[in-house]
Amino acid sequence: MIRIQSKIATCLVAVALLAATTAYAGESADVIKQRIGTGDPVAGKSESSLCQGCHGEEGLSLEELIPNLAGQYASYIAKELRNYQSGARTHQIMNAMAKTITDTGLVNIAAYFASQEKMQGGGWGDNRVAKKLFLKGDMTRNIQSCVSCHGEKGKGKATHISTYPVIGGQHKAYLRAQLINWRKDERTNSPDSVMSKIAKSLTDAEIEALTDYISGL
C-alpha cells in the first residue's frame, strides 16, 4: 500500500513538474518521461510480442481498424487495457487479449508503446467544418472544442485530473468507429461520459469531416 502511495506521489510530482514547465512543448525529456509512466519499456517490448502482431512492432498498425499505439500515453493505454479486462470496454479480441497479461506486464507494455515515436498524420483532410469544431467547438450545442482536451494537433495531454489520448495521426476508420460506438452506447467508458455526450451531438457529416481532419494531424 505504501509502495502504491509513493508511486502515486511520484506521479503527482511529475504532473506538477509538467504543469510548471511552459506550455505543452512537444517532445521535451520531461514530457516523454511523463508519457511513459512508471513501467519498464525494455521489458515491455518483449512482453508485447503478441500485441505487435496486430499493433505493429513500433505501435503503428497496418490495418485501419486496429489503433496505432505509438506515442500514446501509457496511463491511457493502461486504463483501456484494464477496461477491456473488466468488460467496461467491450471488443471480442481485445477482451481476450487483455486477459493474457499480468498487471506488471500491462504497465511495461504501456510504457513500451508510449516510448515510441508519436503517430503522425500526413496533413490531409484539412476542411473548414472539422477545423472549426476541432479548434472552437460549437457552444450552441454544448460541444467543447476537441483541442481543449486532446491538445494541440490532437497529440494528447495529461493533467492531474485525466489523461486525454493522442488522436492526431490515428487511423481514420478507427476514430470513426469509436465516435459511432459512443453514439450508440456501445463504448461507454469515457470519464463522466464526456465522449458519449460529444459524439451524440455530432452529425454523420461532421464525424466524417472530423475523422478525416484528425487522422491527418
Interface with ligand HEC (CB under 6 A): 48, 50-51, 53-55, 65-67, 69, 77, 79-81, 91, 93-94, 97, 100-101, 109, 133, 143-144, 146, 148-150, 162, 164-165, 167, 175, 177-179, 189-191, 194-195, 198, 210
C-beta of 2: minimal distance to ligand HEC in Å?
28
- What gap in Å lies between CA 25 and CA 22, rounded to an integer? 7
C-beta of 194: minimal distance to ligand HEC in Å?
5
Residue 25 or 65: the one with the smaller Cβ distance to ligand HEC is 65
C-beta of 103: minimal distance to ligand HEC in Å?
12
Residue 18 or 177: the one with the smaller Cβ distance to ligand HEC is 177
Let me know: does 153 contact 168? Beta carbons within 8 Å.
Answer: yes
C-beta of 182: minimal distance to ligand HEC in Å?
8
- What gap in Å lies between CA 188 and CA 209, rounded to an integer? 23
Interior angle at CA 143, CA 84 and CA 177, nearest 5:
35
C-beta of 215: minimal distance to ligand HEC in Å?
10
- What gap in Å lies between CA 87 and CA 89, rounded to an integer? 5
Provide the CA 54 distance to its chain's centre, in angstroms: 17
Q: Which three cell numbers stand for residue 164?
A: 486525454
Residue 6 or 142: the one with the smaller Cβ distance to ligand HEC is 142
Residue 9 or 184: the one with the smaller Cβ distance to ligand HEC is 184
Q: Which three cell numbers stand for residue 208?
A: 466524417
Cα Rg, the chain, nearest whole Å: 17
